[in-house]
């Protein structure tokens, strides 16, 4: 089981990294979302994996999953929604304003940036 | 007056002139003068205790653990410098009021001046060397503002930049030196450091600390080879130059050398470095000064030369040298400030300060002539003026100083310096005031009003009084010298008098004055030789150094920081993996302590779906809609994973967030191209793929190893499990952590979420207010629109489902404390219910029915959560302490009432508001593009009377 979760984290990271390195805003945003999944699952897994023992206190039950990473990841999920929304809005605003959804500075723009990009 | 007030007055007073700018020149200068006068009087109230030999202290612990305390001390030395700073400051302010023209921003000028004055007073009164460093940097910054005050002049800007670069670098070196000194002495308090002479001088760090501190002093006080910035700072308005050069800024370095004299001086290192630098500066400055044609440049190099003289005296390390240095600081401050102000008057009246264009001003400006000549003669070292006395003491000291085993070296160079010093003073008088009256001045010169000549005249009175009656200054100078020397040496017995008999110093003095007169007589031929000589131009060298450093910086930064964000991402990823690999390969890995759990078919199935969806996303990311569907699958599988691994709250949150994220991305995709074109080369894709694979492997390895080992120390989770019900009154530990144990975190998080939503709203407003709006209105959809935008089936379904979803949300909210659920999840569920109404009937219809704006909902949520937290103050508990009780209202069962539920309500409202405000902002963009909207809930509505049918009915 641990192998499955760890490899899932690895694959999500790899996919996220690849998409983050693309040149247009939309795939980059999706890549960041994949990285968010990877990070959240990683943080969650720091409480180690427990099957069938949710941290809901019940009489007679002694073993519970670690509640702390769960609480931290819960807020992280909500915050990452807010972050994604802001990034999408910035990307969209840039596209609507310049009719260009490249992530990098484009050569016809600023002279100095153009020198660097070549 | 408390020392704190003396230091704080200029800083707080600095606000006034800036605020009163519109009140006019007289009012701003008046308030600046008043503030300075108050500090000056405050200083004088401490005079009796200083005269009694006491050290006045004031102390507030600021950061005691760092050794940084706001402690001030006032002894003779500090009093002397503070007196110069504030006293000459008063004269400069009244001079500046008349000097600046109406076009200048006078309020700004006086604000800068007061800031600078406060920083200088801070330096001389600091008892803590870290505090001293803070003030030291403040003088660099505020002098930068003052020197560059005339922003329209390129020389002003360049001079200010050069001064900041040189003194800033020196300050940086000095921070290092001071930290070493503090380490050696075990305290950053000057009063402790000054007691530890033997300890410090025996330490191996003494020499590095000495060199670093001296770098700071030499750059500030313009000692060779850092002397070049001072003449360029001349571009400042004359009152600034007069202030910087006479009493402040450049005296800061001298002050520090004097302050540190008891602990740093007396060693061969100190003697060789300080005396040599001082001697070279003295001779070099005076030679260059003679050949400068710009009046202010001449004075600037003469300042450099005199600073060299004082430095050399401090370098000798004898008590007599220190006393001579203190006396010369006093004399130099008086005659130099007067000379600068006179130069400013000439510039003001004749509209030039080029000596070659002046001459014969004696008849046209008699008052200025008298003032400037007396000051210049004093600088030349003519008897009965104060400059003569301290110069005599300097020559006397030079006579006893042996450098590099060559007894004649120091006296010879000191005489040469004095000779050139006398020569430029005579040139100043001879070429500016004497000679025939000319008829080609740029403006007809005449004496200015008393406002301009009175301040220098007051100083010249001091010059003459001290010169004739040196015994008046003697007790004070000896007092100052005593506090310089501390316990390191006795104050010399020597008396201050004009006639010491036929001593060698007198002969040296005579040689200097006569030689100076001869130099002036042969000025024209020597100027020709001087002009023919090749000499390095300091400004060119400085700029070449700056340019080469800038080129180097560009060569490093531009390839890394070239505007290509994908490159930054790649660099960051590679760096993180590399650093992680380094830690991995150098650290030790303990053996696994946990067994691997067996995987069942469900888990493997979920894993396969997640992997397939991720792989599909990467392969087919060019088809944006498809990749959006695939990321939905990924999110779903993550939620399923959370359920599987005992995290029901997380699963619910992830699932609902997934829904709103996909809606958000769909709204955005509406405007973006549907396909991503192929742009990157194969090589580039191979590079990115390798980075991705290495990154993936790294996180895999890390999490795999992590999960198979127990935590090194017991985590705090057990505490939460044990206290959740007892202390927090809830059985859902995750929810209790969110609203109770870590409520403050959650409070911060809902605020962040609210800010993010407001940011999105603000961005939308900006977009819709600009040219984007027109573009949106003219936009042609790139795909066919649906024929029926608001289908009846969807409208009916969402209307029916709305109360059910709200009920579910309410239920989830209420049970959150004990069962999976809570404010976050309930907020997301309710948002989805509302979003569905938008989707079914359109933005116009839904927002017409919106009763509360979403900003208000966010605000209400944050406020409710905040007030819940504040509520605990009223019962004397810390912020966000929770309480709960069980009540029974028949016919219900017993139930729990907790303040945490109120907090959770705040969370709920903030989440609803934030999610809805973000989505609403996106839909507003879409609405602009979609053209006019129908006000009806659905396109085709059988209950609504169709116009055609109506007409048909009427026809019947």
Tell me the chain A residues in contact with residue B692 when contact means C-beta distances shorter than 8 Å: 13-18, 21
C-alpha distances in Å from residue B822, one per residue of B809, B844, B893 = 9, 31, 21
Burial class of B147 by CB neighbour count within 10 A (0 to 12, 13 to 18, 19+) = buried
Query: What are the tens digits of pLDDT across the range B129-181?
Result: 888 898 999 988 888 888 888 888 888 888 888 888 888 889 999 999 989 88
Yes or no: say if B145 and B85 are a contact pair by the CB < 8 Å rule.
no
For residue B697, is pLDDT > 90? yes
Burial B267-287 (b: 16+ CB within 10 A, else e): eebbbebbbbbbbbbbbbbbb
Query: What are the tens digits of pLDDT across the range B279-297?
Result: 889 888 888 888 888 888 8
Q: Which domain holds residue B861?
A: 726-781+790-943
Q: Does B275 touch chain A (CB under 8 A)?
A: no
Instruction: Name the percent of chain B lying above pLDDT 70.
Output: 96
The reported pLDDT for the residue numbered B956 is: 58
| 3-state DSSP of A13-28 | HHHHHHHHCCCEHHHH
For residue B607, is pLDDT > 90? yes
CA pseudo-torsion sign B916, B920, B921, B922: positive
| 3-state DSSP of B104-145 | CCHHHHHHHHHHHHHHHHHHHHECEHHHHHHHHHHHHHHHHH
In chain B, helix, strand, coil percent, each to 5? 75, 5, 25
Query: What are the tens digits of pLDDT across the range B933-951?
Result: 666 777 667 676 666 655 6
Q: Out of A7, A15, A93, whose CB is closest to B700? A: A7
Assigned CATH for A2-117: 1.10.287
Mark whether B737 and B835 lie in a shared domain.
yes
Q: Residue B574 — very low, low, confident or very high, per pLDDT cuts 50/70/90?
A: very high
Closest-CA distance, B935 to chain A, in angstroms, reads 27
For residue B264, is pLDDT > 50? yes
| 3-state DSSP of B312-363 | HHHHCCCHHHHHHHHHHHHHHHHHHHHHHHHHHHHHHHHCCCEHHHCCCHHH
Q: Does B558 touch chain A (CB under 8 A)?
A: yes
Query: What are the tens digits of pLDDT across the range B559-572?
Result: 888 878 888 889 99
Q: Are strands B56-63 and B895-898 parallel, antiparallel or unpaired?
A: unpaired
Q: Residue A117 — very low, low, confident or very high, per pLDDT cuts 50/70/90?
A: very low
Mark whether B555 and B515 lie in a shared domain.
no
Mark whether B857 and B875 lie in a shared domain.
yes
Tell me the chain A residues in contact with residue B861 when contact means C-beta distances shorter than 8 Å: none
The reported pLDDT for the residue numbered B186 is: 82
What average pLDDT is seen over chain B?
Answer: 85
Q: Which residues contact B222 (CB under 8 A, 6 or more apart)?
A: B229, B230, B250, B253, B281, B303, B304, B307
Distance CA B305, CA B284 (A): 7
Query: What are the tens digits of pLDDT across the range A31-48?
Result: 999 999 999 999 999 888
B123-126, long-range: CB within 8 Å, 24+ apart, which pairs? B123/B252, B123/B255, B123/B256, B124/B77, B124/B78, B124/B81, B124/B82, B124/B85, B124/B255, B125/B3, B125/B6, B125/B7, B125/B72, B125/B73, B125/B74, B125/B78, B125/B82, B126/B71, B126/B72, B126/B73, B126/B190
Delimit the domains of chain A by residue range. 2-117
Q: What is the mean pLDDT of residues B687-699?
A: 93
Q: Does B680 touch chain A (CB under 8 A)?
A: yes
The reported pLDDT for the residue numbered B541 is: 84
Mark whether B363 and B471 lie in a shared domain.
yes
Residue of A nearest to B656 (CA): A78
B781 secondary structure, DSSP code? P
Kindly state the helix (H) or strand (E) to which residue B860 belongs, with its residue range. helix B854-871
Mark whether B274 and B386 lie in a shared domain.
yes
The reported pLDDT for the residue numbered B346 is: 85
Q: Out of A20, A54, A85, whose CB is closest to B647? A: A54
Q: Out of B566, B702, B828, whose CB is closest to A23? A: B566
Mark whether B609 and B567 lie in a shared domain.
no
Instruction: Provide the H-helix boundaries in B442-533.
Output: 450-468, 474-485, 504-521, 523-532
Q: How many helices (H) and strands (E) does chain B have?
A: 42, 4
Partners of B897 in the beta sheet? B885
Q: What is the mean pLDDT of residues B567-580?
A: 91
The reported pLDDT for the residue numbered A118 is: 38
> A15 vs B668: CB contact, 8 Å cut-off?
no
Instruction: Provide the H-helix boundaries in B714-791.
Output: 717-728, 733-736, 743-769, 772-777
**3 state SS of B656:** helix
Q: Residue B507 — very low, low, confident or very high, per pLDDT cuts 50/70/90?
A: confident
Query: What are the tens digits of pLDDT across the range B188-242?
Result: 888 888 888 888 888 888 888 889 999 999 988 888 888 888 888 887 888 888 8
Q: Which residues contact A44 (CB under 8 A, 6 or more apart)?
A: A69, A70, A73, B642, B645, B647, B650
In this structure, chain B runs to a length of 956
Kindly state the helix (H) or strand (E) to which residue B411 belongs, with its residue range. helix B409-428
Burial class of B802 by CB neighbour count within 10 A (0 to 12, 13 to 18, 19+) = middle
B238 found inside a domain: yes
The reported pLDDT for the residue numbered B955 is: 63
Yes or no: say if A95 and B672 are a contact pair by the CB < 8 Å rule.
yes
> B645 vs A30: CB contact, 8 Å cut-off?
no
Task: Give one DSSP letter per residue of A61-108, joined into a string.
Answer: ------HHHHHHHHHHHHHHHHHHHHHHHHHHHHHHHHS--BSSPPTT
For residue A114, is pLDDT > 70? no
Distance CA B627, CA B625 (A): 5
Residue B865: count of CB within 10 angstroms of its CB = 27
Distance CA B93, CA B430 (A): 30
Q: Residue B954 — very low, low, confident or very high, per pLDDT cuts 50/70/90?
A: low
> B649 vs A70: CB contact, 8 Å cut-off?
yes
B47 found inside a domain: no
Query: What are the tens digits of pLDDT across the range B740-757?
Result: 888 899 999 999 999 999
Yes or no: say if B334 and B459 are a contact pair by the CB < 8 Å rule.
yes
Distance CA B278, CA B397 (A): 14
The reported pLDDT for the residue numbered A112 is: 44
B679 found inside a domain: no
B696 found inside a domain: no
* CA B267 to chain CA centroid, nearest Å: 37
Closest CA to A31 of B683, B692, B625, B677: B692
> A82 vs B770: CB contact, 8 Å cut-off?
no
Closest-CA distance, A9 to chain B, in angstroms, reads 6
> A27 vs B621: CB contact, 8 Å cut-off?
yes
Query: What are the tens digits of pLDDT across the range A42-65?
Result: 999 988 888 888 888 888 888 888
Distance CA B286, CA B468 (A): 26
Q: Lowest mean pLDDT of A35-39, B4-8, B496-500, B871-875, name the range.
A: B496-500
Residue carrying structure tokens 């129908």:
B934
Best interface-test mutation with B: which of A5, A28, A105 has the largest number of B CBs within 10 A? A5
The reported pLDDT for the residue numbered B952 is: 64
The reported pLDDT for the residue numbered B935 is: 66
What average pLDDT is seen over chain A?
Answer: 85
Where is pLDDT greater, at B953 or B825? B825
Query: What are the tens digits of pLDDT across the range B356-399?
Result: 877 777 778 888 888 888 888 888 888 888 888 888 888 777 77
Q: Which residues contact B121 (CB under 8 A, 6 or more apart)?
A: B6, B7, B10, B39, B82, B85, B86
For residue B495, is pLDDT > 50? yes
Closest-CA distance, A32 to chain B, in angstroms, reads 11
Q: Which residues contact B241 (CB under 8 A, 6 or more apart)?
A: B233, B234, B296, B299, B300, B340, B344
Q: Does B731 touch chain A (CB under 8 A)?
A: yes
Burial class of B155 by CB neighbour count within 10 A (0 to 12, 13 to 18, 19+) = middle
B499 found inside a domain: yes
The reported pLDDT for the residue numbered B760 is: 92
Q: What is the mean pLDDT of residues B700-706?
A: 91
Query: What are the tens digits of pLDDT across the range B894-921?
Result: 777 888 888 999 999 999 999 999 988 8
For residue B778, is pLDDT > 70? yes
Instruction: Provide the H-helix boundaries in B770-818.
Output: 772-777, 792-815
Closest CA to A72 of B650, B913, B709: B650
The reported pLDDT for the residue numbered B579 is: 94
Distance CA B477, CA B466 (A): 12
Best interface-test mutation with B: which of A20, A48, A71, A112 has the largest number of B CBs within 10 A? A71
Mark whether B579 and B617 lie in a shared domain.
no
> What token pair was written down for B505?
């110093």
**3 state SS of A116:** helix
Distance CA B808, CA B792 (A): 24
Instruction: Name the percent of chain B lying above pLDDT 90.
Output: 17
B16 found inside a domain: no
* CA B549 to chain CA centroid, nearest Å: 22
Query: What are the tens digits of pLDDT across the range B401-419?
Result: 777 777 778 888 888 888 8
Distance CA B389, CA B243 (A): 23
Residue carrying structure tokens 């006045």:
B56
> What token pair was written down for B369?
């002539």
Residue carrying structure tokens 């001293």:
B132
Mark whether B490 and B513 lie in a shared domain.
yes
The reported pLDDT for the residue numbered A115 is: 42
Query: What are the tens digits of pLDDT across the range B85-138?
Result: 888 888 888 888 888 877 778 888 888 889 999 999 999 888 888 888 989 999
Yes or no: say if B213 and B178 are a contact pair by the CB < 8 Å rule.
yes
Q: Are strands B68-74 and B56-63 parallel, antiparallel or unpaired?
A: antiparallel
Mark whether B483 and B507 lie in a shared domain.
yes
B689 found inside a domain: no
CA pseudo-torsion sign B707, B713, B714, B715: negative
Distance CA B421, CA B281 (A): 12
The reported pLDDT for the residue numbered B380 is: 83
Mark whether B280 and B378 lie in a shared domain.
yes
Q: What is the mean pLDDT of residues B868-897?
A: 82
To the nearest 10 degrees (0 to 180), the angle between helices B450-468 and B319-350 is: 150
> What token pair was written down for B473?
């200054």
Mark whether B736 and B643 lie in a shared domain.
no
In this structure, chain A runs to a length of 118
The reported pLDDT for the residue numbered A54 is: 87
Mark whether B304 and B236 lie in a shared domain.
yes
Distance CA B956, CA A85 (A): 57
């Amino acid at each position: 089981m641990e192998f499955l979760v760890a490899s899932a984290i690895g694959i999500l990271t790899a996919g996220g990294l690849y998409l983050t390195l693309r040149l247009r805003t939309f795939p980059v945003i999706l890549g960041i979302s994949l990285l968010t999944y990877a990070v959240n699952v990683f943080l969650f897994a720091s409480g180690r994996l427990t099957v069938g023992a949710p941290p809901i206190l019940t009489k007679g039950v002694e073993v519970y999953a670690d509640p702390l990473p769960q609480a931290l990841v819960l807020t992280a999920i909500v915050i990452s929604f807010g972050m994604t929304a802001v990034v999408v809005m910035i990307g969209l605003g840039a596209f609507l304003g310049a009719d260009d959804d490249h992530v990098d500075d484009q050569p016809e723009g600023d002279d100095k940036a153009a020198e660097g990009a070549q | 007056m408390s020392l704190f007030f003396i230091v704080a007055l200029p800083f707080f007073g600095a606000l006034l002139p800036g605020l009163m700018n519109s009140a006019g020149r007289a009012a701003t200068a008046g308030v600046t003068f008043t503030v300075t006068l108050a500090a000056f009087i405050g200083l004088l109230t401490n005079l009796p205790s200083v005269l009694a030999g006491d050290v006045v202290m004031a102390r507030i612990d600021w950061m005691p653990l760092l050794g940084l305390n706001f402690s001030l001390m006032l002894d003779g030395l500090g009093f002397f410098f503070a007196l110069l700073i504030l006293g000459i400051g008063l004269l400069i302010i009244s001079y500046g009021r008349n000097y600046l023209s109406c076009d200048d921003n006078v309020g700004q000028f006086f604000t800068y001046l007061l800031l600078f004055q406060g920083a200088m007073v801070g330096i001389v009164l600091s008892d803590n060397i870290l505090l001293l460093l803070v003030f030291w940097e403040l003088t660099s910054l505020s002098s930068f503002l003052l020197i560059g005050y005339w922003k329209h002049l390129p020389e002003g800007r360049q001079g200010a930049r050069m001064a900041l670069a040189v003194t800033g670098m020196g300050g940086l070196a000095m921070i290092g030196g001071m930290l070493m000194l503090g380490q050696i002495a075990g305290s950053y308090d000057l009063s402790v450091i000054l007691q530890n002479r033997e300890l410090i001088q025996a330490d191996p760090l003494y020499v590095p600390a000495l060199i670093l501190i001296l770098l700071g002093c030499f750059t500030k006080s313009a000692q060779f080879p850092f002397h070049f910035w001072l003449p360029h700072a001349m571009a400042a308005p004359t009152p600034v130059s007069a202030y910087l050069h006479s009493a402040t800024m450049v005296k800061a370095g001298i002050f520090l050398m004097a302050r540190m004299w008891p602990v740093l001086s007396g060693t061969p290192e100190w003697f060789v470095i300080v005396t040599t630098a001082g001697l070279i500066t003295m001779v070099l400055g005076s030679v260059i000064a003679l050949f400068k044609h710009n009046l202010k440049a001449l004075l600037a190099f003469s300042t450099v030369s005199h600073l060299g003289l004082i430095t050399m005296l401090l370098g000798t390390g004898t008590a007599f040298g220190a006393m001579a240095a203190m006396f010369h600081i006093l004399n130099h401050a008086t005659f130099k400030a007067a000379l600068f102000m006179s130069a400013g008057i000439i510039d003001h009246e004749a509209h030039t300060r080029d000596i070659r264009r002046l001459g014969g001003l004696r008849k046209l400006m008699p008052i200025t002539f008298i003032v400037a000549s007396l000051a210049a003669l004093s600088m030349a070292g003519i008897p009965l003026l104060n400059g003569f006395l301290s110069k005599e003491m300097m020559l006397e000291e030079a006579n006893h100083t042996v450098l590099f085993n060559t007894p004649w070296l120091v006296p010879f160079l000191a005489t040469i310096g004095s000779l050139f010093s006398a020569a430029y003073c005579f040139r100043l008088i001879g070429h500016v005031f004497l000679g025939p009256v000319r008829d080609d001045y740029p403006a007809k010169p005449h004496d200015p009003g008393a406002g301009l000549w009175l301040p220098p005249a007051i100083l010249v009175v001091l010059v003459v009084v001290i010169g004739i009656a040196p015994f008046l200054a003697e007790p004070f100078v000896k007092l100052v010298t005593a506090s310089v020397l501390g316990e390191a040496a006795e104050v010399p017995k020597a008396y201050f008098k004009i006639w010491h008999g036929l001593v060698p110093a007198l002969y040296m003095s005579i040689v200097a004055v006569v030689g100076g007169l001869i130099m002036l007589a042969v000025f024209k031929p020597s100027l020709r030789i001087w002009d023919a000589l090749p000499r390095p131009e300091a400004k060119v060298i400085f700029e070449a150094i700056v340019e080469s450093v800038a080129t180097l910086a560009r060569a490093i930064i531009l390839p890394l920081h070239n505007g290509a964000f994908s490159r930054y991402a790649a660099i960051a990823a590679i760096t993180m993996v590399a650093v992680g690999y380094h830690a991995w390969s150098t650290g030790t890995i303990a053996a696994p302590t946990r067994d691997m759990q067996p995987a069942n078919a469900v888990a493997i199935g979920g894993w396969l779906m997640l992997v397939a969806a991720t792989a599909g996303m990467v392969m087919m990311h060019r088809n944006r809609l498809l990749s959006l569907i695939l990321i939905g699958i990924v999110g779903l599988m993550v939620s399923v994973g959370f359920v599987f691994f005992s995290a029901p709250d997380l699963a619910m949150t992830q699932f609902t967030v997934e829904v709103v994220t996909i809606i958000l991305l769909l709204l955005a995709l509406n405007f973006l191209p549907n396909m991503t074109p192929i742009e990157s080369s194969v090589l580039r894709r191979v590079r990115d793929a390798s980075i991705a694979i290495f990154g993936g492997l790294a996180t895999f390895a890390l999490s795999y190893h992590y999960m198979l080992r127990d935590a090194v120390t017991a985590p705090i989770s057990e505490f939460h499990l044990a206290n959740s019900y007892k202390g927090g009154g809830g059985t859902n530990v995750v929810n209790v952590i969110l609203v109770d144990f870590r409520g403050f975190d959650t409070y911060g998080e809902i605020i962040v979420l609210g800010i993010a939503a407001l940011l999105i709203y603000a961005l939308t407003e900006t977009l819709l207010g600009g040219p984007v709006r027109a573009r949106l209105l003219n936009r042609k959809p790139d795909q066919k629109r649906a024929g029926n935008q608001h289908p009846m089936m969807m409208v009916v379904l969402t209307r029916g489902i709305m109360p059910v979803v709200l009920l579910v949300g309410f239920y989830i909210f209420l049970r959150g404390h004990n069962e999976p659920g809570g404010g976050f999840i309930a907020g997301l569920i309710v948002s989805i219910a509302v979003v569905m109404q938008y989707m079914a009937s359109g933005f116009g219809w839904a927002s017409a029915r919106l009763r509360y704006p979403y900003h208000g909902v966010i605000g209400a949520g944050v406020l409710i959560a905040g007030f819940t937290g504040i509520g605990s103050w009223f019962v004397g508990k810390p912020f966000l302490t929770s309480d709960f009780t069980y009540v029974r209202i028949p016919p219900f069962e017993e139930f729990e009432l907790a303040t945490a539920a109120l907090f959770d309500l705040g969370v709920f409202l903030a989440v609803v508001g934030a999610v809805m405000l973000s989505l609403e902002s996106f839909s507003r963009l879409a609405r602009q593009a979609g053209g006019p909207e129908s006000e009806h809930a659905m396109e085709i509505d059988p209950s609504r009377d169709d116009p055609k049918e109506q007409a048909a009915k009427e026809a019947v």
